[in-house]
Amino acid sequence: MAPHRKSRPPSGMGIRTPALATAALTSVALLSQTANASPSEEPKPSMEEVQKKVDDLYQQAGTATEKYNAAKEKTTKQRKRVDTLLDDVAKRTEKLNDAREELGGFAAAQYRTGAAAPDTASLLLADNPQDYFDQSQLMDRLTSRQKEAVDDYGTQQAATARKRQEASESLQTLTTTQSTLKTSKADVQRKLAEARDLLSRLTAEERARLAAIEREKQEEALRKADELARRQAADEEERRRQAATQSTGTSTATATPGTDTSYDAKAAKALAFARAQIGKPYVWGASGPGSYDCSGLTQAAWKAAGVTLPRTTWDQVNAGTTVSVNDARPGDLVFFFDDISHVGVYVGDGMMVHAPKPGAYVREESIYYMPVHSVVRPA
């Protein structure tokens, strides 16, 4: 008979209680879910954050627009300069050809009178025709009129060469400014596309919330405008009181101290023009008459008053006298943001007329709708 084999007791590793088995299965399930789960999505931004992002994009687009305006203005001026230089070169070249023909006639005449045979090719290619005539022993045979023609030819030749070089350098500059213009235009379009894309992904509820945030922002800006209006009214009353005190016993003052009636007249015309544009669309790079960007509107407004302003906000801010916000008067230019990328025409009582941003229209609004940089009196 085969020997009886005792069964071996199972080892401790083989023992599984129901609780342990359940825990093991749960762990495997969790690990499996973790491995198969997609990466966690970033938390959705709040509507306040969306509003800030949109505002930032519009500001960046405004800055890019001013860069575009500067490049466009420079390109236009450079193109005119190139055209002028090329016209000048063409006229000088024509005169040079006439002078060359005249010199060729002088050389032929000298040859007919017995002088050494002229090397016409050398004459026409000579850097200095006078040197050529000296070397060919013709100079002493020329009349005074002929000598003047030789000198004139040399002068014309040198001047034409300089103008050609100047035209070549101007063309290179034009190419650079055109490249900058193209880059600035693409930058504006990219920022605006990003803002449109962000807004297009909002739900109707989110759009309503965004509109509510905008209203709150407008109300706060109007509150600050009212505060400024009260301060300005108090300051004006104090100036009148002081003027009345100073005029006691003397002739009555004809104007309030600190005012300039000539400026007020121009400012009234500029402000009237700006208000007449209310309702026209903002279009970046536009300066009227059907649409405007911010600096295009202020430039056109003051042009209506007979004052020429530069095209960009960065140049307009230096085109007058800086005053405090409390001293702002109708017609003054109000600039915004640290990079001075926006401007409006001050109306009074803390309000302005400006071309706000893409998708909006020229409108009257509190100057506190955006952070004020400075106030400038342009005339």
User: Does 354 participate in catalysis according to the annotation?
Assistant: yes
The residues facing 282 across adjacent strands are 292
Handedness of CA 139, 144, 146, 148 (dihedral sign): positive
**DSSP letters along 210-253, please?**
HHHHHHHHHHHHHHHHHHHHHHHHHHHHHHHHHHHHHTTTSPPP
**Helix (H), strand (E) at residue 328:** none
The residues facing 364 across adjacent strands are 353
Which of the following is catalytic: 294, 300, 307, 328?
294
Nearest residue to 199 (alpha-carbon basis) of 377, 57, 314, 376: 57
Nearest residue to 118 (alpha-carbon basis) of 90, 92, 142: 142
User: Does 264 participate in catalysis according to the annotation?
Assistant: no
What CA–CA distance (Å, rounded) separates 190 from 223? Answer: 35
Phi then psi dihedrals of residue 257, to 5 deg: -55, 140
Which of the following is catalytic: 74, 354, 357, 373?
354
Which of the following is catalytic: 74, 266, 280, 342?
342
User: Does 342 participate in catalysis according to the annotation?
Assistant: yes
Q: Which of the residues are catalytic?
A: 294, 342, 354
